[in-house]
Structure 1
């Protein structure tokens, strides 16, 4: 883009839904901010089930269209998905999009299929959010279709690991960038009053170490290593507590509760399920632990906790090491002893909380994410004009 000249773009952003999730919030935030910068934005979602009202507010003046109001049952659902590209094409044509930026597996393939053969074809940019997460065949299918028969003009990944995994799957583009997620440091900030209130509600004494894990109850999150690591922490700091935030299958939660009982630590753990007051919870924690073994691209929860001046101990997956830097600890996957040692060390270094927030403000701001995305989309359009 010569001389940094800014142009107003007609941008279609396409994702699965606005249900609660890190990718969904990032794309809603991006859409609203791009409108504020003078661009016209069409926000497309495949469905509207379970839309998060807070995410809808983030869209601001972006025009939100839903492609389907109902899901076809059983095996017919796959037929519905495979044919949805026609609806995407119609929306892009009516909007006269300059570029479509999609996110996640099905939207990426549907967008690429939709623009193929269009007159005045918009540029197509795919968004990569995960790294090595194990997927069902239905989630893997659109990746295979995109690799074999699709074409993307650009790729934006929120982690280097995610981009590498995309290449291994055969999905590449001539224009590629890693653009990390943007964290709202106004929404996520330390709050001493909320810290005291939340710890009182959790019945955790002021001087006790409180660890937290935030994420769905899924095998990829490796709660087993978390629990075994916490058992080691209790040997050194017997007054410690652990809260686990996130929903999951009842059978899986029961397995983990059974393991906690066998380890003799069940009385020190609270399973909170979904928690809407997440920024208050981050403030209440002394250390956030991310024990994932795979599947993490850019773990938002780590950044959010750091913005609240809560230092983190993370496993070496996705972009976690780069996020934490020197403001926390990165440990090996599946190693409870390393995890426990990291927690103990981080808890001793009280200056890490302030360091963590500064790191988020300096490297992972919303402004940076929006500016870099805007620049890539503009460069793609103007360099081919």
Structure 2
């Protein structure tokens, strides 16, 4: 049973949906049945889960604490009815509610894993309830059987926040390289949709409108590039990106497409993919997805971005439009052979290190451990801590 705050267009929601659908569509005697519980509504990914045959329950919780008791009661009832062998909660509020419901239902926290998806959160940018919940989770962090994180940076940040689990587990993201793949015709199609010439350099960023994503730095970098004579056009994909504001001088050089369901067909059109996030990232999906499409990527030095890139792209300091513009310029001006090699190396790194099958195998082994069929496996972090004792 997966418990998640909502099913909006975020990275955690995308990975959870990817895992639940994959295992439902490849069901067998060794593959556990997948149940997804959204504390809120069906959101963006509910339809995908239902189409794949995943059992989905939505508790209808609204923002704020008023609906908290009802969500706890509703989840407790679901657990008592389903009697899940393994429970995995995704994101802070779900961790808190799932811990209470697992105890009240009789399933017990011994079957529970928290799944951390972020690092170095700037809590001043989020609501008071998030700060309160994080403090409570630090105190409760010895309750679940294991706390998983998709990045070394996420593990280290939460240790600083006071997390003290029985056991840590490293669960890096994985990607379906049949879905995310190079497409030589993608740029012409996207340029036709946007009404621009394919001779332009397409710089793409897939990220919702959020202060953590720091679109302002990206806009400044674009301005610097164009001032130096580079015919760069910025493509933004993500929830509410059409509401972003920027200088009038950039108006004809930015296409904000908002939330799209065909992102895997758009990303291969990019000449370069960028992630300008200034905080909060652990293992950003968008870097891996771009690399799987053979698109060289540039990311701010947050979370595990440098480890994911593995030398195939570039990292730059946070909130540094000058450094970001310089990194983009370097990739745009490298010779053809070097650029081709970079594209091939980017995709190969995802295939070799971050495949969907490798990710799913770790999840299956962890769930099997939570169910008591085997010891909970040791999934060591690169340079991290697995056994807090």
Which TM-score tier does this pair reach, normalised by the shorter chain? 0.7 to 0.9
Give the secondary-structure state (helix, strand or coil) at the position aligned to 2:119: coil
Q: 2:102 aligns to what?
A: 115
Asked if 2 retains the 8 angstrom alpha-carbon contact of 1:88 and 1:111, the reply is yes
Match of residue 360, structure 1, among 350, 353, 362: 350
Q: Distance in 2 between matches of 1:332 and 1:113?
A: 40
TM-score (norm 1): 0.86
Deviation of 1:203 (Å) = 2.8
Q: 1:293 to 1:265 in 2, by over 3 A?
A: same
Q: 1:84 to 1:69 in 2, by over 3 A?
A: closer
Q: Distance in 1 between matches of 2:21 and 2:203?
A: 34
1:1-385 pair list within 5 angstroms: 12-35=1-24, 36=27, 37-53=30-46, 55-57=48-50, 60-66=52-58, 68-69=59-60, 71=62, 77-116=64-103, 119=106, 121=108, 122-133=110-121, 134=123, 135-149=126-140, 151-248=143-240, 253-254=244-245, 257=246, 260-261=247-248, 264-347=249-332, 348=334, 349-350=338-339, 351-380=341-370, 381=372, 382-383=374-375
Deviation of 1:33 (Å) = 3.1
What are the Cα deviations for residues 281-322 of structure 1, in whole angstroms up to 9, with x where unaligned? 212110011111111121111111111111111100012111
Q: Distance in 1 between matches of 2:375 and 2:280?
A: 34
Q: Distance in 2 between matches of 1:139 and 1:234?
A: 40
TM-score (norm 2): 0.85
Deviation of 1:55 (Å) = 2.8
Unaligned runs of 5+ in 2: 377-389
Number of residue pairs matched? 360
In angstroms, what is the RMSD of aligned CA positions?
A: 2.3
Q: 1:156 to 1:55 in 2, by over 3 A?
A: farther
Q: 1:281 to 1:120 in 2, by over 3 A?
A: closer
Deviation of 1:379 (Å) = 3.2
Asked if 2 retains the 8 angstrom alpha-carbon contact of 1:208 and 1:241, the reply is yes
Q: Distance in 1 between matches of 2:50 and 2:307?
A: 31
Q: 1:120 to 1:27 in 2, by over 3 A?
A: closer
